[in-house]
Amino acid sequence: MKLREITKLLFVASLVLLLIPACVKEGPQGLAGVDGEDGLDGADGADGHVTCLVCHGGENIEAIQGQFAMSVHKSGVNAVAYAGARADCAQCHSHEGFVQFAEFGEVFGAITSPNAWECGTCHGLHNSFESGDYALRLSDPVNPIFDETVTMDLMGNSNLCANCHQSRRPEPSIDKPGDTYKITSTHYGPHHGAQANVVAGVGFAEIEGSTSYPDAGSNLHLAQASCVGCHMGEFADGQGGHSWNPSVNACNECHEADETDFNYGGVQTDIHDKLIELRDLLIARGVVSGDDQAGYGPVVGTYPMIEARAFFNWAGLEEDRSLGVHNPKYVRALLNNTIEALETAVPAN
């Protein structure tokens, strides 16, 4: 058979194969099957990835970073200085130290290259990824360094602040009970910024006197406000948000007031005057020295216990820097009773 004939035969065979399916008729359509079960509804966008954008959206995150740049915590000089590298101080004075403490409960040694606080200092990994899950590294009530049998509960997220903003040292009569107390350093006193002591109403020298002390934890600001509520209110005029500068607007909202500063009810004026009165009594007794320009500090020496306790109260309340706003009743009781005790106590010399 010639090649040309073979080619024709293959062409015809291919055509037949193509036509055969077209000649086959389909049967009648069968009955429709039973519908399947509906799947579960998906989560609303607000509970999913859109929640992330509440904080991490470009415009919002830039606003937070701008506010944070205003804060003392972000300043390397204030936050780190020489203390950030020291094992005993790094817990609160460096990003690396705080993360170690939050994760392991301690700092294992000196920090080689400490850095100031950053977003990841306070915020770790999220737990639920739901609204309100800010992934704070610490939020449980705090057992303070000055007395681990005490529990300071500043309510939820504000407890993060209490880990660092505490006196660290116990007041003199608890530290070394006795009739006298020896101040061995010009740096003696409650550690700077013992705001948690003040807010919780614990840790100072509760000297007996005519003014009764409120129960620990009874501070109205614990129920009606908080560290977060007052210092992280809606950002406006350089206050609130992640600047952590206290917000007058937040105070006015709670007090239904229209104040332009924090001297609500004259509390700051009253406490300011009492602090000066107590300081001057301590200067007269030789416990404190200094001036307004250079600052004031303790004089090394051995003193009657009442004078050492009075100094502890003065130093701690002075460096609280709220002039009583953090806990007016507790601060007034401390100052009133301390001043009374000093005025009636017999000087050592």
Each residue's pLDDT tens digit, 168-215: 999 999 999 999 999 999 999 999 999 999 999 999 999 999 999 999
Q: Which residue has the higher pLDDT, 134 or 166?
A: 166
What is residue 50's predicted lDDT score, i.e. its pLDDT?
A: 67
In the prediction, which pLDDT does 272 show?
A: 98
Most confident residue range from 10-19, 27-36, 178-187: 178-187
Instruction: Say yes or no to pLDDT of 266 above 80.
Output: yes
What is the pLDDT at residue 1?
Answer: 56
CB-CB contact of 145 with 166 (8 Å): yes
Q: Tens digit of pLDDT for each residue in 115-126?
A: 999 999 999 888
Partnered with residue 289 across adjacent β-strands are: 297
- Written as six digits, the tokens of 135 are 């992934």
pLDDT-derived band at 17 (thresholds 50, 70, 90) equals low
End-to-end Cα, the chain, rounded Å? 139
The rounded mean pLDDT for the chain is 88
pLDDT tens, residue by residue, 64-75: 999 999 998 888
Split at pLDDT 50, 70, 90, the class of 252 is very high
pLDDT cut 70: percent of the chain above it: 88
Q: Tokens 């116990």 map to which residue?
A: 170
Distance CA 296, CA 188 (A): 12
pLDDT band at 45 (very low <50, low <70, confident <90, very high): low
Pairing type for strands 295-298 and 301-304 reads unpaired
Q: Render pLDDT for 329-345 as a digit per residue (tens, 0 to 9).
A: 999 999 999 999 999 98
Query: Would you say the pTM of this structure is higher than 0.85?
Result: no
Residue-wise pLDDT for 289-316, tens only, equals: 999 999 999 999 999 999 999 999 999 9
10 Å CB burial of residue 161 (0-12, 13-18, 19+) is: buried
Residue 348: what pLDDT?
Answer: 65
Determine contact, residues 269/263, Cβ cutoff 8 Å: yes
CA distances from 48 to 14, 131, 160, 271 (A): 58, 9, 26, 49
Q: Are residues 326 and 221 in contact, defined by beta-carbon separation less than 8 angstroms?
A: yes
Q: Is the pLDDT of residue 327 over 70?
A: yes
Instruction: List the one residue out of 277, 333, 282, 279 whose CA is nearest residue 307.
Output: 282
Q: 99: how many CB neighbours lie within 10 A of its CB? A: 18
Which residues pair with residue 291 across a beta bridge? 295
User: 349: Cβ–Cβ under 8 A, 6 or more apart, which residues?
Assistant: 286
pLDDT digits (tens, 9 = 90+) for 76-88: 777 788 899 999 9
